[in-house]
Amino acid sequence: MMLLKVNTQNQKGFTLLELLVSITLLGLIILITAGALRAGNRATESSQKKIEGLERFRTSLSIIESQVQSAFMINKTGDILDADFFQFSGDKTKLQFRSVYSLWGGSMGPVFVNYEVRDEDMGNKTLYASEAPVQIPDAAREVRLIDNAKDIHFEYFTKGPTDEKGSWTEEWTDKENIPGRIRLTIEKDSRVISLIVPVMTSKNNQPGTSTGGTKK
């Protein structure tokens, strides 16, 4: 009976060291791949947050512009309104007026609007807006419009009867009138944004009334 001899001289197998090296390399590849995926996900989330933040910022500016442009004045007749009454009040950090544009109801006004810049953590500034129906001043609702800003402040354009150019002031003290323009300056994310809003109002105009004559 003949026995077959198997030639094992040309057959090579994995040594324990080679196996350990292979496993280590595979683990490193998995770690690097997982790290790259996590970094990619974080970058995507960060980009999405920036896009959402920019969209909220644009929406807030649009709301402010719409409310300021829709400011109106109340006709004072006799002594119906007390001495503390004001058509418009504003300084560097606060702004109060009446508008036909609502934060929550769009053109469903009129509402009493209050903007206030507050100091938050780490010295950042936040702009809050609150409003209430003119007839129900105690039913105010508040919302945060702009946050994490290095600076937020208001300015008001004033022009006297003999003033040709006019100038900007940080406080509005004329209780009987509304400034023709309001400037909101925001320093945020290493950028300075200046929003100048013209006030589309007339001293004789009120919401729901007309100053024009009736044609017959």
Q: pLDDT tens digits, residue range 121-156?
A: 888 999 999 999 887 877 788 999 999 999 999 999
Q: Which two tokens stand for residue 20?
A: 């350990």
The number of domains in the chain is: 1
Q: What is the pLDDT of residue 11?
A: 52
Residue with tokens 């300084």: 91
154 in a domain, yes or no?
A: yes
60 assigned to some structural domain = yes
Please report whether residue 167 resides in a domain: yes
Residue-number span of the structural domain to which 26 is assigned: 21-73+83-206
Which is higher by pLDDT, 69 or 15? 69
The span from the CA of 72 to the CA of 87, in Å, is 8
**Per-residue pLDDT for 61 more than 80?**
yes
Predicted confidence at residue 192, as pLDDT, reads: 95
Is the pLDDT reported for residue 69 higher than 50? yes
Q: Where are the alpha helices (DSSP H) in the chain?
A: 16-69
Residues 6 or more apart from 37 whose CB is under 8 A from it?
A: none
Percent of the chain as helix, strand, coil, to the nearest 5: 25, 30, 45
> pLDDT band at 202, cuts 50/70/90?
very low
Residue 54 has a pLDDT of 79
Q: What are phi and psi of 119, to 5 degrees?
A: -80, 130
In a domain, 9, yes or no: no
pTM of model > 0.85: no
The predicted structure's pLDDT at residue 127: 96
44 to each of 19, 39, 49, 58, 87, how far by Cα in Å?
Answer: 37, 9, 9, 21, 48
Average pLDDT across the chain, whole number: 81
Token pair 């009040």 is found at 89
